Amino acid sequence: MEIITAISTWIIPCFLLIVLTIAVIKRIPAYELFVEGGKEGVKMAFSLLPFLVGMIVSISILRSSGAMDAIIQLISPVLHMVGIPPDIMPLALIRPISGTAALGMTTELIATHGPDSFIGRLASTMQGTTDTTLYILTVYFGAVGIKKMGYALKVGLLADLIAILSSIILVKMVFG
């Protein structure tokens, strides 16, 4: 354990030292390049801002309008028949949209049901196996100017669905 702590403490300073040493050897203006990269990062952050605001507003509307609760109530009987707790569905629905909202829901589920409960374990597994597909498409595709993202959206949402179903099956097999 002490070795891992030492490695994690020294890895970044050693990496920076190696990069700076190589820059000096190759006579590359490291500081100027660093500042230039910082300027590009700020420009990219400003260009991504409208996409991020759009995602945040969409998520707020979905949760505040009660649409999320209506969807859960609608599919709740089917979920009970197949043995899926309805409490987990908001996480499954919001995870492809927002990682922050999903993390908040996971925290809430764990606080309510406990970390060692079926729902707590399922929420943790679902959080780790799925991704924020819509966020990724919005931010990264928007940053590089890709307008046609239909196939990427379909594949990403299919991957999320498979991850959600797999996490339910695996948690049932291991902890059910």
* pLDDT above 70 as % of the chain: 97
- Mean pLDDT computed over 67-82: 88
- Mean pLDDT computed over 101-108: 87
pLDDT band at 143 (very low <50, low <70, confident <90, very high): confident
The pLDDT value given to residue 123 = 95
In this predicted structure, the answer to whether residue 139 has a pLDDT above a threshold of 90 is no
- Mean pLDDT computed over 163-168: 93
pTM exceeds 0.85 for this model: no
CA separation, residue 120 to residues 63, 101, 126, 158, 173 (Å): 21, 16, 10, 24, 15
The pLDDT value given to residue 163 = 94
- CA dist 159 and 94 (Å) reads 15
- Mean pLDDT computed over 80-91: 89
Angle, in degrees to the nearest 10, between helices 150-175 and 118-129: 150
CB atoms within 10 A of CB 23: 15
The pLDDT value given to residue 25 = 93
pLDDT band at 144 (very low <50, low <70, confident <90, very high): confident
Q: In this predicted model, what pLDDT tens digit does every residue of 28-68 receive, in sequence order?
A: 998 888 888 888 878 877 777 777 677 677 777 877 898 87
Q: Which two tokens stand for residue 47?
A: 């260009």
**Alpha helices, DSSP H, located in 26-132:** 30-64, 67-82, 89-94, 99-113, 118-129
The pLDDT value given to residue 88 = 92
